[in-house]
Structure 1
Amino acid sequence: MNGGSGKSSYANNSLLQQKVISLTKPVREEAIASMFLRTLPRRLAVADLGCSSGPNTFLVVSEVIKLVEKLCKELKHESPEYLVFMNDLPGNDFNNIFKSIGCFKEKLSNEIEGGIGPCYITGVPGSFYERIFPIRTLHFVHSSYSLQWLSQVPEGIENNKGNIYMAKTSPTNVMKAYYAQFERDFSLFLKCRAEELVEGGYMVLTFLGRRNDDPSGKECCYIWELLASALNDMVSEGMIKEEQMDTFNIPLYSPSASEVKSEILKEGSFSINRVEVSEVHWNAYNIASNSFDSECGLHKSLSDGGYSVTCTMRAVAEPLLVSHFGESFIDEIFDRYRKNITEAMSKEKTEFVNVSISMTRRA
């Protein structure tokens, strides 16, 4: 993600992720209530994996605490101590998170009559494809729009020429390699979390996914094909070397609900409670947002949905592009990408698919 608070930062271009968190709230509330009423812990440990930095960072934590405090009042039960772990890769802007903790706690205490129980918030840098917490310490784990990112680009896809992700023109081995990498990564993720969650602990995960069984279908790959098109045009004009293009691939896999369920059942540590599939428009501002300029720092027309979608994608993809192609052509890449996105949105329905799943740690 792009850190900081600049025009292209994730912090200023994460309304899409915020909408997805809001959309999947019922799944989380059901899980949080079930977990708390079953265990009534004196110390409630919550982990948000892939928390990033910005306006969305404490959304789910706030939601958890508000619901638990409501349940405590109804049960006339003493509030638990809250132990909150905010996890992301070491390059995440944790300093920004730490600076906002005081305001977060104050705001939350003012919103909840009688205040809240003691709340201890810790930043935990590290990959969630490895163990990051002590054994049997967590009661609730949440992750949204993070697990579609793989631990690495799949190996053996050197023949995916002209593409930067799975596409209709990708060879069969590329599809298999991407899925195999997802299987390895997600299985390892489940194994690690199973060791860290208490018995009966809950986990709610939301992936950028797909409905279709075809992993190269438009609903999950089109947004990347439009970027590949922009890059290929720059190759044909001699701005980018062909070998640079041929060696660039996105480390991401958008799974279907059946693929997510299959891996959970195969790993065996969790019982599946609920699976939901939903959609959100590419343009999170939905054209009519009055806060477009002030929140995003943009100076384009409100009707330019392609510009807002490009900003959203730039906030997450720019670091990958810079590390591979360098900084000199970045603005040109995203200017061309914006034109491709705008044209696509004018011709057809463009939506991201969300796969949300709630599960419980088996005994």
Structure 2
Amino acid sequence: MDVAQALHMNGGDGDYSYSNNSLLQRKVISMTKPIIDDALTNLYSALNFPKTLIMADLGCSSGPNTLLVASELVKSVDKIRQKFGNDESPEIQIYLNDLPQNDFNTIFLSVSKFRKNLSNQMVSNNSSSPCYISGVPGSFYTRLFLRKSIHFVYSSYSLMWLSQVPEMIDINKGNIYMSTTSPPSVIKAYREQFQKDFSMFLKCRADEMVSEGRMVLTILGRQSDDPCSKECCYIWDLLATSLKDMVAEGLIEEEKLDSFNIPQYTPSPKEVRNEVEKEGSFVIDRLEVSEVNWDASTGNNLNLSEEEDVQGYNMGKCMRAVSEPLVLSHFGESTIDEVFKRYAENIKSSMSREKTKLINVTVSVTRKG
């Protein structure tokens, strides 16, 4: 699998688009806002009230969440500026980065409306912070920006994606991800690929960021030390079940299933800390764990009624928006609707029986001088 080509969210604004099925991710962004505000406050003070700020959202995807992040960053900086009694608003450049197959066109078509809405909000608050938006296609596991040019880096729900499917010496038979039935060599391959990728990410950002620059990263993760724990693997187990059922019915070849592996690793807080400290360019300011229900629209409700399934948030559609390009690239178009129909049914059934949640690991760091 060519991850750079296959790994992107569903574009456009259709029924299965990421744009219309990313409420959960939006909730996670809102949950981490206090950590972002804290990092920006410390940055603004450390840089002695700069006249320009260069920021980057890495793994920005497309849809409303992308420009929500940009808007929140600008408004946060302006509130901080007022808090310090500074009359002059800094000019802000925000780079939006994702892999080349990301739907950048949808983002760019929304920029004019974003600027108008942001301007109206700022004027109503007697504020003005000029903001400039640019797209930067490419892998964040490589250098993206000029050396020592970036003040603030943000990334949410992106760094669990690996640069490639781990190279495995054993077949991960019957699985599409790490599982309790996976050979130990498969678990080791996944862990080592994450360590390699995250270390490279940190090294690249260290080159690009100014001294005292801040970075806030939220990664889909786990609390347990066990990389095969239910809290991080269950969502993919349900997709694997759907695919195995189709193999049993002769709709998918078994070899196709056995050769498909999700390029993702959900780290524990300990693993994140270890990699940051090992790379050595950043100081950890905060390292926190949070959780969000699969059904992000219903708080802590455990049951998903038929009415909620129609009117509320649909985790099945969310997972299709996230994973359809990966599944499509491997299994082809002829089976795609049936795969995700079964996957959605498995997800709905699971949510009706038990509390289902995702774990987030958020780390806030400062670039050493």
| TM-score greater than 0.5 by the shorter chain | yes
Distance 1:143 1:157, change over 3 A: farther
* Residue of 148, 158, 181 corresponding to 1:169: 181
Determine whether 1:37 maps to 2:45. Answer: yes
| Amino acid paired to 1:183 | Q
Identity of aligned residues (%): 58
Unpaired runs of 5+ in structure 2? 1-8
Alpha-carbon distance in 2 for matches of 1:88, 1:225: 27
Matches within 5 A, 1:131-146: 131-146=143-158
Partner of residue 84, structure 1: 94
Greater shift, 238-247 or 335-344, is seen at 335-344
Alpha-carbon distance in 1 for matches of 2:101, 2:131: 25
Deviation readout 1:306-362 (Å, 9 max, x if unpaired): 981110100010000100000111111111112211222222221000000000000
Preserved contact between residue 238 and residue 343 of structure 2 (Cα < 8 Å): yes
Alpha-carbon distance in 2 for matches of 1:236, 1:244: 13
| Amino acid paired to 1:36 | Y
Preserved contact between residue 297 and residue 312 of structure 2 (Cα < 8 Å): no
Partner of residue 287, structure 2: 275
Secondary structure, aligned partner of 1:123? strand
Determine whether 1:344 maps to 2:350. Answer: yes
Preserved contact between residue 55 and residue 95 of structure 2 (Cα < 8 Å): yes
Secondary structure, aligned partner of 2:154? strand
Deviation readout 1:76-109 (Å, 9 max, x if unpaired): 3311111110101111111111111111111111
Partner of residue 265, structure 2: 253
Preserved contact between residue 23 and residue 313 of structure 2 (Cα < 8 Å): no
Alpha-carbon distance in 1 for matches of 2:178, 2:295: 23
Partner of residue 25, structure 2: 17
Partner of residue 292, structure 1: none
Alpha-carbon distance in 1 for matches of 2:169, 2:327: 18
1:305 is displaced (CA, Å) by 9.3
Preserved contact between residue 60 and residue 96 of structure 2 (Cα < 8 Å): yes
Partner of residue 72, structure 2: 63
Normalised TM-score (structure 1): 0.94
Alpha-carbon distance in 1 for matches of 2:24, 2:333: 26
Deviation readout 1:227-246 (Å, 9 max, x if unpaired): 10110010011100010001
Distance 1:307 1:274, change over 3 A: closer
Preserved contact between residue 293 and residue 299 of structure 2 (Cα < 8 Å): no
Preserved contact between residue 170 and residue 185 of structure 2 (Cα < 8 Å): no
Secondary structure, aligned partner of 1:17? helix
1:269 is displaced (CA, Å) by 0.2
Distance 1:362 1:310, change over 3 A: same
Partner of residue 116, structure 2: 106
Determine whether 1:332 maps to 2:338. Answer: yes
Normalised TM-score (structure 2): 0.92
Secondary structure, aligned partner of 2:133? strand
Partner of residue 251, structure 2: 239
Greater shift, 184-193 or 102-111, is seen at 102-111
Deviation readout 1:260-299 (Å, 9 max, x if unpaired): 000000000000000110000011222899xxxxxxxxxx
| Amino acid paired to 2:72 | E
Unpaired runs of 5+ in structure 1? 290-299
1:23 is displaced (CA, Å) by 0.8
Matches within 5 A, 1:204-219: 204-219=216-231
| Amino acid paired to 1:145 | Y
Partner of residue 3, structure 2: none
1:135 is displaced (CA, Å) by 0.5
Determine whether 1:127 maps to 2:136. Answer: no
Preserved contact between residue 170 and residue 183 of structure 2 (Cα < 8 Å): no
* Residue of 307, 311, 317 corresponding to 1:311: 317
Matches within 5 A, 1:221-232: 221-232=233-244
Preserved contact between residue 305 and residue 342 of structure 1 (Cα < 8 Å): no
Partner of residue 297, structure 1: none
Distance 1:178 1:127, change over 3 A: same
Determine whether 1:52 maps to 2:61. Answer: yes
Greater shift, 44-53 or 106-115, is seen at 106-115
| Amino acid paired to 1:106 | K
Preserved contact between residue 287 and residue 305 of structure 1 (Cα < 8 Å): no
* Residue of 162, 177, 188 corresponding to 1:150: 162
| Amino acid paired to 2:58 | L
Alpha-carbon distance in 2 for matches of 1:361, 1:228: 40
Greater shift, 34-43 or 114-123, is seen at 114-123
Alpha-carbon distance in 1 for matches of 2:175, 2:254: 11
* Residue of 346, 353, 359 corresponding to 2:359: 353
| Amino acid paired to 1:14 | S
Preserved contact between residue 15 and residue 284 of structure 1 (Cα < 8 Å): yes
Preserved contact between residue 306 and residue 338 of structure 1 (Cα < 8 Å): no
1:158 is displaced (CA, Å) by 4.4
Secondary structure, aligned partner of 2:66? coil
Alpha-carbon distance in 1 for matches of 2:105, 2:170: 38
Matches within 5 A, 1:297-308: 301-303=307-309, 308=314
